[in-house]
Each structure stands twice: as structure tokens, then as C-alpha cells.
Amino acid sequence: MKKYLILSFMLIPFIGLSQDILISEGGTVNTCSGTLFDSGGGSGNYSSNENYSITICPDNPGQNIELDFTSFSTQLNADILTIYDGPDNTGTGTTYSGNATQSPGFITATNASGCITVEFFSNAAANTTGFAANISCYEP
């Protein structure tokens, strides 16, 4: 019995390391694991009239964020995902809109901070399943 208790306490720090992050949470998140979702999460559609921004930074200095988009569907040319290579939206962003063929795919930060900023805007018309991206870090 003692062995099981010790093992349980040893595993507790590893529970919940991977987290689901909704773009609607906003702000800055420091993580090297988890999944970034639109406001609908993993099972729902995003809403109309959204305007969200989130910055994802690595846990440790010297690392850079990677986003691997595993699903992507927005209203073409109306609901726009913009990705910035940096800790804010002051640089030139790359925009994505539409279905899986317009998906961002695999995105890596190349800036000194290692951060990526993601913005999402939706209009008042139709909405769809949105997006999901696995978050990880790498050392350049």
C-alpha cells in the first residue's frame, strides 16, 4: 500500500501539464505543451463578432514556440486568423481564412522572445468549427 501511495505522489506533478487554451482567454500564456483552440474549444464552434488575441511564450529562455495546426475551418475571407512572429501584434502578421487547404500548418517562432501572437476576428454571419493547434517548444 505504501508503494502505491508513494507512486501516486510522484505522479501528481505530471498531471495536468498539458492544457487546453482558448484564444478567448487572452493575455500571455507561458507553456511548452497543450492545445490552442478557438473560443468554442475542442467540441464547439466559435461565435460571431469575435475579436481575440493571445500570446504564447515558451516556459524557459532560449526556447521558441511551435504551433502545429491539426484542424482549421473558418468562414472564407470573413473570419480571419492572423499569426505574428513575436510577443505582440506590431509586426507584419500572416493571415489565414477558409478550410484545411488554407490552414497555417506548422508555425515556428524565430524571434528573440520565442513567442507567437495569435489574433482571431469573426464577423456577424456564419461561423464554423474553428481551429486547434498543438503547442510545443524547440531550442533554435
**Chain centre distance of CA 102:** 17
Summarised one tens digit per residue, pLDDT across range 2-31 is 554 444 444 444 444 569 999 999 999 999
Q: How far apart are CA 111 and CA 114, in angstroms?
A: 5
So where are the chain's domains?
18-138
Segments of the chain with pLDDT less than 50 = 4-16
Distance CA 27, CA 19 (A): 16
CA-wise closest residue to 133 among 79, 63, 83, 90: 83
pTM: 0.85
The grid cell for 100 is: 484545411
Q: Which CATH number fits domain 18-138: 3.40.50.1010, 2.30.38.10, 2.40.110.10, 2.60.120.290?
A: 2.60.120.290
